Structure 1
């Protein structure tokens, strides 16, 4: 049965093959297995693509249909949309069609005006954005520059030094970032600022403020350091009113020949005389003090301690048992030239022409010999005294004739003050600066920070001395407060721009003059503790009350605003508004009576940073009700439809708004009508939504009917539409 079936099948196949070969029109195609497989794959891919596309269409139809969309009209709506982004001019019409031409011209004029207005609006927006970005970047750049330390030659060295500390580095535990020394400075600084404020308002005279300056100067590096006559120059400057003149340019110091030199200042000489007094009264038995009170007897007693036995090499005899040149030198060192002349008169037969030279030196107000006499002294020194064995004689001749500046006189100048006094007799400040080449390497500044600071300070290089001391972290507070005292005395040469390095030289300044970036110095110092000790930081910022930044903004206002925004200590710094509308004073009241400009400035900064709630409170504190309601409208508008939940954002803002409304109504505080009406309308809308969410539909309907915001019947449609145009954006977006 199976064989017959296969035979029949074979017969049919042969028949079909014969019929196919017999048709001449059809070409005979022979395919191998690979070609047959490829053809099958192509047919299969076509079927799958068509099937998947149909499946995707079905799924999309089901999804859109479940959302209630009319699928049949979607393609028509999409085709009706236009992707044109600009207004296209209308097609021109024939000139004979007058009505069409006029209509087309009118439409073109309107479209042109709209397009021009759009371009102008976008250009203005881009310009405002660019200016805002430039101002913001400038502020960020200044903040970065104040944070980073100076680069180049003024870069700060953070390497640890082996020099022992002069102060205790232990700090009390707590949230404060200030250590014991810095906190002590802050307290002293507070006293000084109170004096400055009282002087400004006439409650304190300048002499009392000067005493506080002396107290701050004495605390800068300790009493022992002041005793070695470093910062006493600050105090001594109080003797010269020219330094304190408000109209004096500090650069004039380098051009006025009548200003005192280091040797002419009475305070450093008086301190050395006090040093001899201490030595004498501390060793009365050895000093053998007696005779007529005066410098001469004091020096005699001092030499009994300084030179208890005869020193070989001293020349020209003695006066009352003491070397004559030693007596002359120490009388001059104590600042008493008449006492030195007394010694010269007693030994004049041993000194030759020196008496006449010394008298000329004494009677010259600039303490300088005439050129002819000076040449004689120098010639005599080169011929007879250069290699003299008496160090006191060589030192005295070098003072009179300015001889041999290379001689350090180490036998008699064993302290830096003596060294500077010998090296720079009555030279003016420019000469002192230019004639002092030794630098940090000469004095081993890394190992002897205080010594090199004294050298710079005593040679009137105040700015360089402060910048050098500021390099070391543990000495930074001392440097800052030295700068504060000099700043108050108007003796600090400041940089003209805040972007300058900590220590810089500007075009037009004398070659040896350097300027200190005082603003950067203060901001670098306060950066450490302004977040934890804003009260103390504010005291330091007050020194910047007369400084301006590159935008002409007051630095005190700018620093206060940044400090308040970053620390969020609004109530402590700016004060607090009581329930009765009165203002509780803050720390800022310590520095000024009129606090409104400062509070308005902080509020403006907070508003520009998007802190609308804080800005509204600050404007309320500054008695600026229009800005308060304007910001409250912006805050209330996004939340009026939200459900009121305790402690939520809406609940807080609603309570704040009701408090403001009640207080303004109770005290009769008036604002502009548009802002006021918008504010109270938003409060009514909040009440409407609260009633709605609470399920009180009738009450909510009564509120919306009373507000007359939406037409509840056909006859009020036109009226409500006309009124809609008068609503602000905060209200209209909810209608």
Structure 2
């Protein structure tokens, strides 16, 4: 039969029914396939004998397995089938079944969506929590591993208490620096200028006898002093000569890098860096002369020209001649070498005098050099006038450059021509005479010139920023390939004015972290460190960049990390360092406000974690006398104007944080110091409310009870405080203290005292008419949350007291009338309580209602 014949035959199956108008149900191919499989399963044939034999040899019963498999398949196939078979014409049954399946499917889909959403939210919350934990972990571990070096500084944490504490006294270097910071803040309080770099340099020098690396640190302080023109001065008439606090902040932090102020600052720094290198070279020359007096032949006059000649004798004179044939000997001496060396040692006037003295001899080969040399030295920024410069470069290009390329020129003459004309700035390396890093840097700094936009052609543009970019490309591996002398690259970065990068690089070397912190202090004092905006800070790195790509150093976090190692043992010294964060209170907006907020936040952490309340925030004596702490005496150092600002920003904020951290006693003490007496009462109410039904053997709760009583009594006695305490808050605390006494009587089975206490409180009606009971129920809406959260337990305790007293009377062997009357009174109190409970039914848990009802029924 064809499929068409089967279809025609199927349509005649229902022709015998009495309702031919019933709608026909058409099955799809998948339904037909499913029904066909059911028919096949019903007509199962015998299993092949070979399969029987194979399974039987393995100890398996094929018939049993076949029956079990058929049963499982049949159950699975019938999972979504109607419980009762449906006739083909039972349309209502079919629709009902489909409706039920739709509901089941919808419920299952909703359950699946709920599970998926729950898993998604759980994953997001776990990821968020992990990110926060990871951030704290990074803060705690920082980017360095543990070191046994005594100057190791752990990385930042959110809590001072997690850091192994030490005392400053055990570390001479740290202790010396801490004393200096304290003195610095004393000067700041009196608005005196303080030569911080000179003082830090003195400390490094004093430590150099026991610590060899302090010699290098001392040289770096000398570099700063030279570059910033700081003079070592004291109070009094010399104050005018000292640099002021934040001397360079306007030029460095507020002005555009292309402004005149910023260019002048870079010029100042370049000149100062050159002077440092020149002074350093002169000391080297004097050392060489002392070591080789017979070769130097300086003579009796310690003139600089004689020293330079003597040094060159040691360097080049060999067996009555000169070891380098390129050195020109004019009038019996190497004049070009002497002129260059006099410039290299910072003696331009002496170099000019020597050139003029020997002008005739020099003029035999370079007749116009001396006038050019004089004009160059006399100009304010060592810049030849344009006309002279063009003529000079013509001479340079026609003779000097070609001679240099052929190697037939005195290298010192070539160097002098390059310096005077700033010639060929793309070729600034003179290998024959710049044999050390210091020589090379001095030459680069000598060629640096800060020009206004458009003043120089691109080929003549070479400023301090361009030099810094070149040095940064070299990197620390070039200057310190073995990694055992980080001070060298630190010095290089300082010489080119990269203050933030220099400090960050030194700080990354564990053995120099203490020094790095104090370099940051000195630079920040003079306004030469950029602090980052909050949005540009990093969780790990202290060095970041601002929106303009300028390097920034997280000075606040560096100070906080440093103080954590000794904060627990020396909180006052740690506070002195935290004051320094507010040096940036004059930084550009919004950095200034963010730095002040950070300073205050770290001070609050210090107060809470060290708990040095008396030293830091003061104390209030029993007679009401208030003693100032260190912070209150130094408000101007943290940008606070008056005592009220101190109480609100530091003490009250610390109290609030302590309250959030569940440090009740700290919060109470700090709220009391901040004169927030109502907050003291509210904190006590909250804690008493939480601990009302705590373990009776918990001593801390007894201490809290005693503390609350003492504070309440003190506030009542002190008229200055009494009128500032809210009446409702005070009454709430009194109720809680009374309830604590009642519970203590109850626990000690002093039931009559407990019942008297409840009646005196008058918060639960045990007598009275319906109106008074209803009024009490209405008053419940206004009851303090510290009491209301415990109200179910209070009611249960009250009913238990009534029940136990009633039971004791009932068991008494004496049957006098007074006993019966008292039992009746107790039952009346219980009924009154139940009436009151009935009005509060929706505010009391069902299990408490059941217990109250049971006790009431049992009082018969």
Alpha-carbon distance, 1:330 to partner = 1.9
Over residues 657-698 of structure 1, what are the superposed CA-to-partner deviations in whole Å (9 max), with x where a residue is unaligned?
122123323333231222222122222322333334344444
Distance in 2, matches of 1:445 and 1:252, equals 36
The alpha-carbon distance between structure 1 residues 505 and 685, as it changes in their structure 2 partners (threshold 3 A), is: closer
* Residues paired across the two proteins, number: 585
Counterpart contact for 2:196–2:522, Cα < 8 Å:
no
Counterpart contact for 1:303–1:322, Cα < 8 Å:
no
Distance in 2, matches of 1:307 and 1:168, equals 46
Counterpart contact for 1:147–1:524, Cα < 8 Å:
no
* Structure-2 residue corresponding to 1:653: 704
User: Secondary structure of the residue that 1:515 maps to in structure 2?
Assistant: strand
TM-score, normalisation: structure 1: 0.68
The alpha-carbon distance between structure 1 residues 506 and 691, as it changes in their structure 2 partners (threshold 3 A), is: closer
Distance in 2, matches of 1:431 and 1:214, equals 30
Distance in 2, matches of 1:475 and 1:542, equals 23
Counterpart contact for 1:261–1:426, Cα < 8 Å:
no
Match of 1:499 among 537, 554, 557: 537
Match of 2:419 among 396, 399, 404: 399
The alpha-carbon distance between structure 1 residues 287 and 625, as it changes in their structure 2 partners (threshold 3 A), is: farther
Alignment of 1:311 with 2:337, yes or no, is no
Distance in 2, matches of 1:182 and 1:478, equals 17
Distance in 2, matches of 1:495 and 1:180, equals 29
User: Secondary structure of the residue that 1:490 maps to in structure 2?
Assistant: coil
Counterpart contact for 2:298–2:310, Cα < 8 Å:
yes
Distance in 1, matches of 2:126 and 2:665, equals 24
Of residues 441-450 and 605-614 in structure 1, the stretch that sits farther from structure 2 once superposed is: 441-450
Alignment of 1:324 with 2:335, yes or no, is yes
Alignment of 1:443 with 2:479, yes or no, is yes
Distance in 1, matches of 2:663 and 2:340, equals 71
Instruction: Give the CA RMSD over aligned residues.
Output: 4.3
Of residues 300-309 and 188-197 in structure 1, the stretch that sits farther from structure 2 once superposed is: 300-309
The alpha-carbon distance between structure 1 residues 726 and 455, as it changes in their structure 2 partners (threshold 3 A), is: same
Match of 2:224 among 234, 237, 255: 234
User: Secondary structure of the residue that 2:324 maps to in structure 1?
Assistant: coil
Alignment of 1:472 with 2:509, yes or no, is yes
Counterpart contact for 2:298–2:307, Cα < 8 Å:
yes
Distance in 1, matches of 2:607 and 2:576, equals 13
Distance in 1, matches of 2:135 and 2:593, equals 11
Match of 2:199 among 185, 191, 212: 212
Counterpart contact for 2:227–2:270, Cα < 8 Å:
no
* Structure-2 residue corresponding to 1:376: 394
Distance in 2, matches of 1:383 and 1:672, equals 95
Of residues 179-188 and 309-318 in structure 1, the stretch that sits farther from structure 2 once superposed is: 179-188
* Structure-1 residue corresponding to 2:446: 425
Match of 2:264 among 254, 258, 261: 258
Alignment of 1:627 with 2:627, yes or no, is no
Of residues 329-338 and 569-578 in structure 1, the stretch that sits farther from structure 2 once superposed is: 569-578
Alpha-carbon distance, 1:343 to partner = 1.4
Alpha-carbon distance, 1:406 to partner = 4.2
* Structure-1 residue corresponding to 2:308: 299
Alpha-carbon distance, 1:532 to partner = 7.1
* Structure-2 residue corresponding to 1:114: none
* Structure-2 residue corresponding to 1:731: 787
Distance in 2, matches of 1:254 and 1:159, equals 44
Match of 2:597 among 537, 551, 554: 554
Match of 1:673 among 723, 727, 733: 727
The alpha-carbon distance between structure 1 residues 549 and 147, as it changes in their structure 2 partners (threshold 3 A), is: farther
Alpha-carbon distance, 1:144 to partner = 5.5
Counterpart contact for 1:445–1:452, Cα < 8 Å:
no
Counterpart contact for 2:618–2:629, Cα < 8 Å:
yes
* Structure-1 residue corresponding to 2:430: 409
* Structure-1 residue corresponding to 2:548: 508
Distance in 2, matches of 1:650 and 1:417, equals 70
Alpha-carbon distance, 1:148 to partner = 6.4
Match of 1:359 among 366, 374, 391: 374
Over residues 186-210 of structure 1, what are the superposed CA-to-partner deviations in whole Å (9 max), with x where a residue is unaligned?
32442343234323332x5104556
User: Secondary structure of the residue that 1:412 maps to in structure 2?
Assistant: coil
Alpha-carbon distance, 1:331 to partner = 1.2
* Structure-1 residue corresponding to 2:360: 349
The alpha-carbon distance between structure 1 residues 564 and 138, as it changes in their structure 2 partners (threshold 3 A), is: farther
User: Secondary structure of the residue that 1:258 maps to in structure 2?
Assistant: helix
